């Protein structure tokens, strides 16, 4: 009798744990804005339904209907029995009755990628051609001026005039829209020249803005900074005193120094350029023979910045034990006569 009860319980658990296949279809398959879309729930089981339609609207009906007011792409998701592992999502394109283009973000930030995509109701599969017109500050990341979609970023904030010409069979459609590009906040490299002029260059989404006038906060921070002295193991010493503190660096004429405490490395400039060395002075490795100016170690972004006569450069901090690296330094700008560099990590 106990065996029968046990078998019955096991079977009940197996039935109760049966995986639910979640799926749905919708009609019409190429809906237009303002047209009613009927969703059919094809899930294998379930007692409750949670739909999200990608426009901040929802439904708990098993087979709901939906009308989208605007053309665009919407991610529709069905969840069964409130179980996050029992979901199905589909990206639905809602077309306009007249060809247009849609933008992937409602709020575009400069130096951030955005996708512009043609939206053409084309049930008869006519051949389509496209011609985008973009402003000078639009930089193409993917696609081209003749593709159905193009991914770009805008290098300046403000109004951006974007146009698209679509040829469909014997009809031409000219679409023009004014996009608002909002300024993004980001950290900045702050650089002081030997004539005491201070400039800043923001790093936005891993892209570089052109150098500009520094803010009052930048000036205040750089006035407090110093790359010719450091406190290490409770002792404060200047760059020129470093060789006396580290035997392996004896005899070197150090002009600027920075420390990477995490990787236990020194970054130093001498009349012979920029070097990285281990804390004990071993594995002295050259980075840039032209660098004789300011240097800065940015622990937040894990990068080393330095100046040479051609401008300001940067690369990731060296992590190898023997201080060898294969990274090619990146030139950030062409500013010269830089005698001090810091990074203001407060987004502005």
Distances (CA, A) of 336 to 272, 273, 290, 304, 309: 18, 16, 12, 17, 5
Reported as a single tens digit per residue, the pLDDT across 212-239 is: 999 999 999 998 888 777 887 788 888 8
User: Which residue ranges does the chain devote to CATH 2.60.40.1080?
Assistant: 100-182
Nearest to 277 by CA among 255, 249, 297: 249
Average pLDDT (149-173) is 95
Measured CA to CA, the distance from residue 271 to residue 254 in angstroms comes to 8
pLDDT of residue 292: 80
Query: Does residue 325 register a pLDDT over 80?
Result: yes
* pLDDT score, position 80: 95
Angle at the Cα of 285 (from 280 to 289), degrees rounded to 5? 130
Indicate the burial class of 194 (C-beta count within 10 angstroms; 0-12, 13-18, 19 or more). exposed
Where in the chain is CATH 2.60.40.10? 19-94
Taking the CB of residue 348, how many other CB atoms lie within 10 A of it? Answer: 13
Asked whether the predicted pLDDT for residue 7 surpasses 90, the reply is no
Q: Which of 266, 302, 261 is nearest to 287 (CA)?
A: 266
Residue 175 has a pLDDT of 93
Q: Which residues pair with 128 in a beta bridge?
A: 168
The answer to whether the beta carbons of residues 44 and 21 sit under 8 Å apart is yes
- What's the pLDDT at 178? 96
Within 224-326, strands assigned E span: 229-232, 235-238, 256-260, 265-270, 273-278, 285-288, 295-298, 303-308, 311-316
CATH 2.60.40.1080 holds for 100-182 = yes
pLDDT digits (tens, 9 = 90+) for 11-60: 444 444 567 999 999 999 999 988 999 999 999 999 999 999 999 999 99
pLDDT at 18: 63
The whole-angstrom separation of Cα 95 and Cα 97 is: 7
pTM: 0.69
- Choose among 311, 314, 290: nearest CA to 302: 314
CA 332-334-339 angle, 5° bins: 90
Q: In the prediction, which pLDDT does 137 show?
A: 95
- CATH code of the region 19-94: 2.60.40.10
Question: What's the rounded Cα separation, in Å, for the pair 336 and 312?
Answer: 8
């Amino acid at each position: 009798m106990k065996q029968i009860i046990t078998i019955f319980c096991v079977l009940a658990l197996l039935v109760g744990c049966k995986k639910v296949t979640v799926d749905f279809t919708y009609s019409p398959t190429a809906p237009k804005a303002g047209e009613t879309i009927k969703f059919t729930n094809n899930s294998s089981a379930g007692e409750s339904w949670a739909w999200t339609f990608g426009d901040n609207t929802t439904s708990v009906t098993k087979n709901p209907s939906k009308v989208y007011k605007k053309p665009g792409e919407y991610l529709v998701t069905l969840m069964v029995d409130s179980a996050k592992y029992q979901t199905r999502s589909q990206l639905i394109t809602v077309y306009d009755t007249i060809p247009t283009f849609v933008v992937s973000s409602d709020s575009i930030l400069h130096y951030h990628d955005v996708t512009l995509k043609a939206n053409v109701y084309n049930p008869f599969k006519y051949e389509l051609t496209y011609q985008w017109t973009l402003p000078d500050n639009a930089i193409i990341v993917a696609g081209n001026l003749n593709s159905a979609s193009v991914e770009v970023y805008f290098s300046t904030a403000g109004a951006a005039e974007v146009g698209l010409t679509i040829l469909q069979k014997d009809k031409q459609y000219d679409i023009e829209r004014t996009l608002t590009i909002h300024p993004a906040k980001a950290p900045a490299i702050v650089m002081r020249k030997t004539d005491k002029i201070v400039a800043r260059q923001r790093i936005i989404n891993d892209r570089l803005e052109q150098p500009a006038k520094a803010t009052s906060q930048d000036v205040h921070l750089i006035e407090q900074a110093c790359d010719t002295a450091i406190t290490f193991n409770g002792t404060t010493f200047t760059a020129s005193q470093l060789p006396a503190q580290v035997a392996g660096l004896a005899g070197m004429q150090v002009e600027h120094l920075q420390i990477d405490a995490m990787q236990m490395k020194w970054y130093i400039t001498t009349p012979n350029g920029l070097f990285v060395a281990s804390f004990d002075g071993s594995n002295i490795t050259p980075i840039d023979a032209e660098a004789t100016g300011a240097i800065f170690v940015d622990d937040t972004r894990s990068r080393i910045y330095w100046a040479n006569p051609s401008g300001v450069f940067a690369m990731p901090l060296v992590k190898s034990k023997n201080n060898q690296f294969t990274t090619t330094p990146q030139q950030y700008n062409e500013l010269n006569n830089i005698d001090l560099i810091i990074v203001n990590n407060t987004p502005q």
